C-alpha cells in the first residue's frame, strides 16, 4: 500500500507571507497531482508533475517533484485571501490509481 504524508495539516498566515506544503512518501509515483478544494465543492486539479526534479509554476504557485519521484512541494509566494482552501497532493501509479495525502487547510488572513 502506497502512503503519502502531507504536512502541515493546518496553516494560518497573514496576507503577503510565503508558505510551503510538503508531500512525502517511501514509494515512487509515476506522477503527482496537486488539487485545491473549496468548501462544498470537489477537488480541482492545479497541476501534474511527471518527471523527477520537475518544477512547474502557476502564477504565484511553484510545484516541485522530487528527483526520485517520491516527494513533492507546493510553494505559494505572497499569499492572498483568495488562496484560502484545502490543498491535496495525490500520487498516481501506472494503473491510474491515486493515493491522496491528508490535505492542508490553508487560511490566509487579510
Partner 1 sequence: NAGVTQTPKFQVLKTGQSMTLQCAQDMNHNSMYWYRQDPGMGLRLIYYSASEGTTDKGEVPNGYNVSRLNKREFSLRLESAAPSQTSVYFCASLYGTGVIEQYFGPGTRLTVT
Binding site for partner 1 (CB under 8 A): 1, 6, 9, 30-31, 33, 35, 40-45, 48, 50, 88, 90, 92, 95-98, 100-103
Find out whether 20 and 74 touch, Cβ atoms under 8 Å.
yes
Strand ranges across the sheet with 19-24:
5-7, 19-24, 71-76, 61-65, 55-58
Residue number with CB closer to partner 1 (42 or 110):
42
Could you tell me the smallest distance in angstroms from the CB atom of residue 110 to partner 1?
26
Residue number with CB closer to partner 1 (76 or 89):
89
Residue number with CB closer to partner 1 (3 or 78):
3
Residue number with CB closer to partner 1 (19 or 23):
23
Could you tell me the smallest distance in angstroms from the CB atom of residue 81 to partner 1?
23
Residue of 49, 50, 17 whose CA lies nearest to 35: 49
Strand partners, 92: 31, 98
Q: Coil, helix or strand for 30?
A: coil
Could you tell me the smallest distance in angstroms from the CB atom of residue 103 to partner 1?
5
Could you tell me the smallest distance in angstroms from the CB atom of residue 60 to partner 1?
22
Find out whether 13 and 107 touch, Cβ atoms under 8 Å.
yes
Amino acid at each position: 500500500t502506497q502512503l503519502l504524508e502531507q504536512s502541515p495539516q493546518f496553516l494560518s498566515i497573514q496576507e503577503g507571507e510565503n508558505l510551503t506544503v510538503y508531500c512525502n512518501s517511501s514509494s515512487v509515483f509515476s506522477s503527482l497531482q496537486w488539487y485545491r478544494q473549496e468548501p462544498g465543492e470537489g477537488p480541482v486539479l492545479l497541476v501534474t508533475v511527471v518527471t523527477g526534479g520537475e518544477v512547474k509554476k502557476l502564477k504565484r504557485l511553484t510545484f516541485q517533484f522530487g528527483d526520485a519521484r517520491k516527494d513533492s512541494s507546493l510553494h505559494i509566494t505572497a499569499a492572498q485571501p483568495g488562496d484560502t482552501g484545502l490543498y491535496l497532493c495525490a500520487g498516481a501509479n501506472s494503473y491510474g490509481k491515486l493515493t491522496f495525502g491528508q490535505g492542508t487547510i490553508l487560511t490566509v488572513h487579510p
